[in-house]
Structure 1
Amino acid sequence: MYRRKTFLTLLAGLAGLCVLVFTAFAAKADTASAADYVRQSLYVPVRDGTRLAVNIYRPAVDGQAMTAKHPVVFVFTPYRARFRNDKGEVVETALNDQLALQSLVRAGYVVAVADIRGKGASFGHRRGFQDRTEAYDGYDLVEWLARQTYTTGAVGMIGCSYYGGTTFHTASTAPPSLKAVFIGASDLDKYNFVRAGGITAQFNTRPDEPLSVDLASLPVDADPDGNLLRQAVAQHAQNTPMGPLWYGMPNRDSMSAYTGNAYWEEVGVYNYLDAIRKAGIATYFWSNWQDEPTAQTLLGAKNLGGKFLGGPGSHCVPPPGFDFTGEITRYFDHYLKGIDNGIEREPRATYWVEGLDGRGGYVRSDQLPGVRSQTLSWFLTGDRSGTAQSANDGGMAAKAAAAGKDTFTVDYDLPPPEYFAFWPQPMDKHGLSYTSPAMESPLTLIGSPVAHLAVTASHPEADIFVYLDQVAADGSAEVVAFGRLKISHRKLSPPPYDNFGLPWHSGRSADILPLAEGEVVQMSIALTPVSRVVPAGARLRLTVTGADPRQRNLKDIKLEPAPRITVLLGGAEASRLDLPHAQ
């Protein structure tokens, strides 16, 4: 660990930062040996009698379970705790080290992995997704694990993506035995994640899996012929379908036809923050910059005071160049075993800065990323001299130019995305773009950019998507941040939680604003957070479109005729981009 003068020079004035060089990411643990653990699988009934499949891995020596009691790390998953893949190989979540689970068994933890109701080998059906039923199932399993004779009674939870959410929701029920959680890529506000700006996109809208997927689960020990497994999976046919549930609730206060209530409120963890605080549960939040949930993960850390880790890369990928396994182990060692290893005295945030020193590196700070950044405003202009990359490309400048406007017709003829396109591709060929001059010196951006657009549209329900690209000197480009907002959802409201002072749109039916013909409206759109140094010679480009290929239901919701959207430039209604400049 040492300080790099070049970085301190680059980020002069950004208080609270110190730089780390981490050892290379710990190599994936050796294939688990049966001598390292003793596994047990069984059904555990929760409060309504539903039997959930629980798999328990106890530390062992030479195949014999240790007699000492150990704390528990619990994983609550919809992705099947144990199953056979299409090659006939047995896959066990607890024996994969992506979340350090295998290493935790070896470090003296009981690791428990349970299938949520309606998935894997568990009985029951899903009323919804990460609802209060599921949350209290987690509560019951935490307390059941704490009562077992081979545990110390201290329980932690870990997960990423959906089962980062089950971890977060279980914490919101405040089980007395739950002492610490490690939450990856999960949301604080599900409406503002799944339907950001009133628009659904990639996450949580994929088709539901066929029952054959759950039938590939391994039966529990007392079910050698799989009869109970088949009975359990038969109940999964009653699961609420995921995509239709989300599509059917356009507003935050919409009543769900599936659940009979304002379901977004039920699954918004922000409604239960006080319970987590009062319980004193330690929190650690993790996500990667090339991953849409990162904004929500930062909100979790902001509102609960927890630690934050931001890595490079995509969804739930262990951060390279960082001892992820060691960090998880030290965290649980402190909060579940009571070991004074200093982790609670270390800086609160650790995060990757892309392009740092020309390559990229981690920094540590007592402040969450972006808190110390200052706003740098660039105004969109119609000037196409010197910066234009195409006929639809305007410019960006430090001062507003003369009044003008640009108009485009929404392009719905978009290339199909990958099945899981966690990150968008540049969209400059499908709307309007505004490109800055080449950077004369490196520009450090840490935090969330905000696009302030003055627009009018030919349809009152038109959608607006914005993308911030970094364009290299050779013309190659990558999306570094993006956001979206339906025109009718443009009203700004005070948020019910701390959101770093960014624009917040409630999405409630009373806040939906009609758009009169020819009316010019102001739209403020927060983009996903960035953490990078834009090198000298590169440009930044803001693209505005009316559709995104990651909208799974695009063919069903596209408007006819395609809307014409106008962006106003300069004058009293100057559209601009606010950048989070770390000076």
Structure 2
Amino acid sequence: MAASVAMPISAPVLASDYAEVQRQSLYVPVRDGTPLAVNLYRPAQAGKPVDGRMPVIFVFTPYRARYRDKDGKVQEVALDDKMALRSLIRAGYVVAVADIRGKGASFGHRRGFQDRTEAMDGHDLVEWLARQPFSTGKVGMMGCSYLGGTTFHTASTVPPSLKAVFVGSSDLDKYAFVRRGGITAQFNTRPDEPLSDDLASLPVDDDAAGVKLKAAVAQHANNTPMAALWYGMPTRDSVSRYTGNAFWEEVGIYNYLAPIRKAGIGTYFWSNWHDEPTAQSILSAANMPGSKFLAGPGSHCVPPPGFDFTGEVVRYFDHYLKGADNGIEKAPRATYWLEGLNGSGGYVRSNRLPGEGARPMRWYLDGGRSQTARSVNDGTLRTSVGKAGADPFTVRYDLPSADYFAFWAQPMDDKGLSYTSAPLAAPTRLVGYPVVNLRVKADKPDANVFVYLDQVAADGKAEVVAFGRLALSHRKTGTAPYKTMGLPYHPGKAADVAPLPVGQAADLAIDLTPVSRIVPAGARLRVTITGADPRQRNLKDIQQTPAPVITVERGAGAPSWIELPVSD
């Protein structure tokens, strides 16, 4: 059973309170001799580093550890408390922030995105930090988004001195994330930053004139372009022309979980409900027994509001790196925001991950319409199978513009088919992954299908609460190499991908992003189906002319439905 609790929001009580910081930066060569820029932040008193040894928190970033922004102000990752790093220094930790190879002030070039070279670089820096005279020999790592990935991948190399990781908004299966359902969308497809961004990095201490910095950044010109890397590998077993191997498998962290488990490295996974990687963060926790999970109500890498995030981070590392008997290992496994709890929202603590123990409630698509007929003839959702029918729609590419970093989808009910329930008679608690099954056919051998689950308030205001996508050619399901919590898995290998013969119907199994909310009485649920999404950065390149006509079959003999995860 899950329990609702009032979570503390005050600042944590720290065992120590070191208000001063002493910084040092230098180049540290890794195993192949490439010098990486490392910035060290030590607790200080009276202008001098505190004597004695302390555990180290390591952050490995592609976004520059220290740099001047456009206004000339120095920005330093370690002194920003968004990820609790400044509080960790105050609590008696040394914080180290290093630029990955090919970025910031580090030398070398980036072969791939979170590849094994980068992972081993992280390994080498962890062990270097553990050997320093200021270190107890115990190291933790944390980060969010790309930094969560460098944390997770470094852990997969099991450095002996790495004791615990706090992984934010990262993925378990990069192919299933970046090319979900065979379709690229928002994440990881933006153009690379110009070299001038890296030149804005501050040189390390012994490079005041920036000579080494300029030499390092010159090597970055050989970096593999990230968007082109992902776009160039349409199937899970595609061989990249940039890396010369099946790169999706190299960066699939699920391939390296066993060593992390065997080493006993503590794992904590964090994301937020309005953030697409949350689907992967829950699966990561499900595949790492004993791990903790946290989800807040916000967007990408935003510290969960109304929750003592800093205190949680400090307590976590105090336990694993300082041996503190603070009870965090005995606390419930999952802490997550439940929208609508007590009328507005609140945190729940449970020994079950979101989705575990949920019972499926099936709603069937019925009485659809074409998107050209905006009237009361919109389709409906009902709890029993209706009469047989078919609803065609033409894919629309005249979509609203999306923010460049649009981490969440917006309602699309006027761009395809929509099916709406009657107002709910009672509040319904949904926690976990909705799953959609659609019987479809098309007038072209391949097309993309996007599905959105909306909550529609009594006043008509709608919000997207979950979404998913699948290309017709990637419809085949199979057995995953990791735990999927019962969700459909699409292998996506070349042998699994096949066109759908024109006019032939097939079933699509699509898992949507997870939800955690109490849908109030009087609200309605709506399923929308389209053939394109404004967050596809390459939409102009892949759109078909004429646009595909997709038909959704429903009712007796060909039911199409959505299963919602109902939680007690």
TM-score by length of 2: 0.97
Aligned with 2:54 (options 41, 66, 70): 70
Letter of the structure 2 residue corresponding to residue 271 of structure 1: N
CA distance in 2, matches of 1:366, 1:41: 42
Aligned residue for 1:83?
Answer: 67
Aligned residue for 1:59?
Answer: 43
Letter of the structure 2 residue corresponding to residue 562 of structure 1: A
- Give the unaligned 5+ runs of structure 2: none
Letter of the structure 2 residue corresponding to residue 222 of structure 1: D
SS at match of 1:273: helix
Aligned with 1:285 (options 269, 272, 294): 269
CA distance in 1, matches of 2:265, 2:377: 52
The yes-or-no answer on 1:119 pairing with 2:103 is: yes
The yes-or-no answer on 1:375 pairing with 2:363 is: no
Aligned residue for 2:474?
Answer: 489
SS at match of 1:552: coil
Runs of 4+ in 1 over 3 A off after TM superposition: 388-392
Deviates more, 1:17-26 or 1:287-296: 17-26
**CA displacement 1:387-416 (0-9 Å, x = unmatched):** x97467200001010000100000011112
Aligned residue for 2:90?
Answer: 106
Aligned residue for 1:153?
Answer: 137
Aligned residue for 1:447?
Answer: 432
CA distance in 2, matches of 1:90, 1:520: 58
Q: How does 1:420-459 map to 2 (within 5 A)?
A: 420-459=405-444
SS at match of 1:169: helix
Letter of the structure 2 residue corresponding to residue 92 of structure 1: E
Deviation at 1:243, TM superposition (A): 0.5
**CA displacement 1:80-125 (0-9 Å, x = unmatched):** 0000001110000000001110000010000000000010000001
SS at match of 2:255: helix
Aligned residue for 1:221?
Answer: 205
Aligned residue for 1:295?
Answer: 279
Deviation at 1:383, TM superposition (A): 6.2
CA distance in 2, matches of 1:127, 1:393: 50
Do 2:355 and 2:432's aligned partners in 1 also have CA atoms closer than 8 Å?
yes
Deviation at 1:161, TM superposition (A): 0.2
Do 1:392 and 1:431's aligned partners in 2 also have CA atoms closer than 8 Å?
no
Do 1:19 and 1:364's aligned partners in 2 also have CA atoms closer than 8 Å?
yes
CA distance in 1, matches of 2:499, 2:300: 36
Aligned residue for 1:334?
Answer: 319
Aligned residue for 2:77?
Answer: 93
Q: How does 1:250-329 map to 2 (within 5 A)?
A: 250-305=234-289, 306-329=291-314
Do 1:464 and 1:487's aligned partners in 2 also have CA atoms closer than 8 Å?
yes
Aligned residue for 2:124?
Answer: 140
The yes-or-no answer on 1:128 pairing with 2:134 is: no
User: Cα 1:245–1:221, aligned 2, differ >3 Å: closer, same or farther?
Assistant: same
SS at match of 1:488: helix
CA distance in 1, matches of 2:538, 2:114: 22
SS at match of 1:105: helix
Deviation at 1:24, TM superposition (A): 2.4
CA distance in 1, matches of 2:26, 2:541: 44
The yes-or-no answer on 1:18 pairing with 2:7 is: no
SS at match of 1:572: coil
CA distance in 1, matches of 2:264, 2:273: 28
Do 1:392 and 1:433's aligned partners in 2 also have CA atoms closer than 8 Å?
no
CA distance in 2, matches of 1:390, 1:410: 19
Do 2:433 and 2:512's aligned partners in 1 also have CA atoms closer than 8 Å?
yes
User: Cα 1:567–1:392, aligned 2, differ >3 Å: closer, same or farther?
Assistant: farther
Aligned residue for 1:11?
Answer: none
SS at match of 1:149: coil
Letter of the structure 1 residue corresponding to residue 526 of structure 2: R
CA distance in 1, matches of 2:226, 2:399: 24
Aligned residue for 2:30?
Answer: 46
TM-score by length of 1: 0.95
- Give the unaligned 5+ runs of structure 1: 1-14
CA distance in 1, matches of 2:368, 2:137: 66
CA distance in 2, matches of 1:276, 1:188: 13
Do 1:71 and 1:152's aligned partners in 2 also have CA atoms closer than 8 Å?
yes
SS at match of 1:482: strand
Do 1:58 and 1:111's aligned partners in 2 also have CA atoms closer than 8 Å?
yes
When the two chains are superposed, the root-mean-square deviation of aligned CA atoms in Å is: 1.4
Aligned with 1:354 (options 328, 332, 339): 339
CA distance in 1, matches of 2:368, 2:73: 60
Do 2:186 and 2:535's aligned partners in 1 also have CA atoms closer than 8 Å?
yes
**CA displacement 1:435-466 (0-9 Å, x = unmatched):** 01001110110000001000001112200000
Count the aligned residue pairs: 561
Letter of the structure 2 residue corresponding to residue 524 of structure 1: A
Letter of the structure 1 residue corresponding to residue 477 of structure 2: L
Aligned with 1:242 (options 206, 226, 231): 226
Letter of the structure 2 residue corresponding to residue 45 of structure 1: P
CA distance in 2, matches of 1:201, 1:565: 20
Deviates more, 1:505-514 or 1:370-379: 505-514
Deviation at 1:513, TM superposition (A): 2.5
Q: How does 1:453-468 map to 2 (within 5 A)?
A: 453-468=438-453
Aligned residue for 2:511?
Answer: 526
Q: How does 1:395-434 map to 2 (within 5 A)?
A: 395-434=380-419
Aligned residue for 1:366?
Answer: 351
Letter of the structure 1 residue corresponding to residue 271 of structure 2: S
Deviation at 1:62, TM superposition (A): 1.7
CA distance in 2, matches of 1:441, 1:332: 43
Aligned residue for 1:195?
Answer: 179
The yes-or-no answer on 1:560 pairing with 2:548 is: no
Aligned residue for 1:579?
Answer: 564
Do 1:353 and 1:363's aligned partners in 2 also have CA atoms closer than 8 Å?
yes
